[in-house]
Structure 1
Amino acid sequence: MEKQTVTIYDVAREAGVSMATVSRVVNGNPNVKPATRKKVLDVIDRLDYRPNAVARGLASKKTTTVGVIIPDVTNIYFASLARGIDDIAMMYKYNIILTNSDENSGKEVQVLNTLLAKQVDGVIFMGNNVSPELKAEFDRSRTPIVLAGSVDPTNTQPSVSIDYKAAVHEGVARMLKRGYKRVAFVSGPLDQPINSEYRLAGYKDALADAGIDYDEQLVFETDYSYQAGYDLQEALTAVDATAAFVGDDELAAGVMNGMNDAGISVPEQFEILTSNDTKLTEIVRPKMSSITQPLYDIGAVAMRLLTKLMNNEPVENKNVLLPYGFVKRGSTNSNEV
């Protein structure tokens, strides 16, 4: 049976009021008599009337909808950011269209264009890499776009993140100070600037400060999966690595379990510092020491920044860096990270 669409005209006719009055009731305008408001709400309830967001968007040139592009909906890191985005979106009465790009640059461009075709008022992008093709689409679009937990080396795209380079520099420096000369660097693909121009750069700076030569053999790039980390055990052992900084928590859990299953005890024989401090760090055993990030806040601040851009409000700083820290757990030896 075909669903009959109930219109604002139907509600007005049934309630015996003007369409303007129905509109005022729907939009929460206080300029309506209580008795009239109750009569209209009763009719809305009886007819199951739902305002047509598309029609309202055409009239106002706003859809009050925001598109969110997430590279992997199963990754706890991005899910934590999405919670912050969603809460602030609700506060400012925006609806979210959540899309998954599978960390595929071609699909990211396609997903972005699909969202823009839906006339979203703004977009939050959470991918690990802004490809040249995607950057060209960002630059071409008149719709505000904010990066959350992602980086744009040119700093031309509004963004919210932590200082990944400084965080890795400090974390690796702490491991080196404890006497570890063979600290491995394990990350996702190095063609992603977040890994090559930020995390790896921080790693290199820490080595230079400690007077230790950079050794390419200690650098491992892979995907962000648990299995990829688990499979690195033999390669890490072959280069005599005794500690590792890992650029993703799921990847780090794989590295740790691979070591333990091979009889290499963490942290007694091999230290691990991970990077995102998602709840995964507390689920595994031993629990993992980590750089801390205000994950929820990164999402929330990104959404608030987007609301300002969508409403043409003044923005002092379009590239927001939030504070990071460190938490000591069981995957590192000393009393501190």
Structure 2
Amino acid sequence: MQKKSSATIYDVANRVGVSLATVSRVVNGNSNVRESTKRKVLDAIEELGYHPNAVARGLASKKTTTIGVVMPDVTDMYYSELARGIDDVANMYHYDVLLTNTDEDPVRETMAVNNLASKQVDGIIFMGNELDNEIINTIIGVDAPVVLAGSVDEAGKLPSVNINYIDAVKEATEAIIKNGHTRVALVTGPMTHAINRLHRLVGYKAALEEAGLEFDESLLFSAHQDYASGLQIAEKLFLAEASAAVTYDDEIALGIMNYMREHGKRIPEDFEIITANDTKFTIITRPQLTSIGQPKYDIGAVAMRMLTKLMNNEVIEETQVQLPHSLERRGTTINPNHVIQ
């Protein structure tokens, strides 16, 4: 039988000889339908090529089965790995994902959250380094649950999934200090961002203090997350006579490494680098980049699972989740039993 090009719920009901309510119950998975009737309705749906309208179903159930994801840069490997975890779990629970890119612009972030809310998404996952008062107030005002993925709320009130950034940066800094370095630089984002001021910087200072080294502000640098910024920061590192650096982004680390090599520094014999995101960049370069290992896919997946529970009004015992990190030792640091590449 030829399928209709735009079959409706009325066509299905007429074909089977049941009410619209019965067809609706079958489409929405309501168990209060006899199995024989359910089978006839499903057969009719298949024969007629009926595609239930998600918006219409949402109006009836007050759910759109859609979640929004606010992403600072869709081209960034770190965020794309998080997004994969979000999308896989969303599909598992039959949610569609509406993705928005903000280019880390606070105004666009606020607009994105408001736009998603106006589309009546069932929940939102927010990714981004900066959460100023305006975006936090916007998130709090949304009539839908919001979970942060890889983002830090200074007050710790919003549900979130991260690693322990203090411990991670502390461990990385300690690893370099143990190799004999006393002028270790920290390259991070703006200090106005809570994740940098209250986490990365705190971990860095803790490692210096435990090693008996004084904090030197001339070894603290702020850079945008791209390769060009790495080249610019590398020149400053060179002038500051830093012998090693811990940085928060892989592209920045690549810029630093290439600049140092072009200016006669051997990696890692003369200059050591540890990066933080452990994307594919870390293993396709030579030497490979030592990095803080983050379970990026898992951060996204756990954030999405938390969101499904919040959307279903389930009780969540822990809304501030920290997943374990690691230190992936590769060729940009001198490590025990390591062969220089």
State the TM-score, normalized to the length of structure 2. Answer: 0.92
2:107 corresponds to 1:111: no
Kept after mapping to 2: 8 A contact 1:218/1:241: yes
Distance 1:124 1:154 in 2: 18
Distance 2:144 2:38 in 1: 37
Deviations 1:242-285 (A, max 9, x none): 11001011221221122222232211111000111122211111
Query: Which residue does 1:256 correspond to in 2?
Result: 257
Q: How does 1:278-297 map to 2 (within 5 A)?
A: 278-297=279-298
Distance 2:5 2:107 in 1: 39
**One-letter code aligned to 1:190:** M
Q: Secondary structure at the match of 1:265?
A: coil
Q: How does 1:164-203 map to 2 (within 5 A)?
A: 164-203=165-204
Q: Secondary structure at the match of 1:285?
A: coil
Distance 1:157 1:336 in 2: 43
Kept after mapping to 2: 8 A contact 1:328/1:336: no
1:239 CA displacement: 0.5
Q: Secondary structure at the match of 2:187?
A: strand
**CA gap 1:57/1:143 in 2 versus in 1, 3 angstroms:** same
Distance 1:58 1:278 in 2: 41
Q: How does 1:147-226 map to 2 (within 5 A)?
A: 147-226=148-227
Q: How does 1:225-244 map to 2 (within 5 A)?
A: 225-244=226-245
Deviations 1:133-177 (A, max 9, x none): 001112222311110011011111110101101110111012112
1:194 CA displacement: 0.9
Query: Which residue does 1:334 correspond to in 2?
Result: 335
1:327 CA displacement: 1.0
Q: Unpaired segments of 5 or more residues in structure 1?
A: none
**One-letter code aligned to 1:323:** P
**CA gap 1:105/1:274 in 2 versus in 1, 3 angstroms:** same
Kept after mapping to 2: 8 A contact 1:232/1:258: no
Kept after mapping to 2: 8 A contact 1:328/1:335: no
Query: Which residue does 2:316 correspond to in 1?
Result: 315
Distance 1:62 1:118 in 2: 11
**One-letter code aligned to 1:125:** F
**CA gap 1:336/1:61 in 2 versus in 1, 3 angstroms:** farther
Distance 1:309 1:31 in 2: 26
Query: Which residue does 2:125 correspond to in 1?
Result: 124
Query: Which residue does 2:136 correspond to in 1?
Result: 135
1:28 CA displacement: 4.7
**One-letter code aligned to 1:292:** G
Query: Which residue does 1:54 correspond to in 2?
Result: 55
Distance 2:130 2:259 in 1: 28
Kept after mapping to 2: 8 A contact 1:274/1:291: yes
Distance 1:36 1:280 in 2: 56
Query: Which residue does 1:305 correspond to in 2?
Result: 306
Distance 1:317 1:27 in 2: 31
Distance 2:337 2:308 in 1: 39
Give the alignment's Cα RMSD to 1 decimal.
2.1
Distance 1:220 1:226 in 2: 15
Corresponding residue pairs, total: 335
State the TM-score, normalized to the length of structure 1. Answer: 0.93
Query: Which residue does 1:265 correspond to in 2?
Result: 266
Query: Which residue does 1:245 correspond to in 2?
Result: 246
Kept after mapping to 2: 8 A contact 1:249/1:274: yes
Q: Which moved more, 1:59-68 or 1:27-36?
A: 27-36
1:65 CA displacement: 1.1
Q: Unpaired segments of 5 or more residues in structure 2?
A: none
**One-letter code aligned to 1:200:** L
Kept after mapping to 1: 8 A contact 2:293/2:327: yes
1:40 CA displacement: 4.0
Kept after mapping to 2: 8 A contact 1:122/1:144: yes
Distance 1:84 1:246 in 2: 24
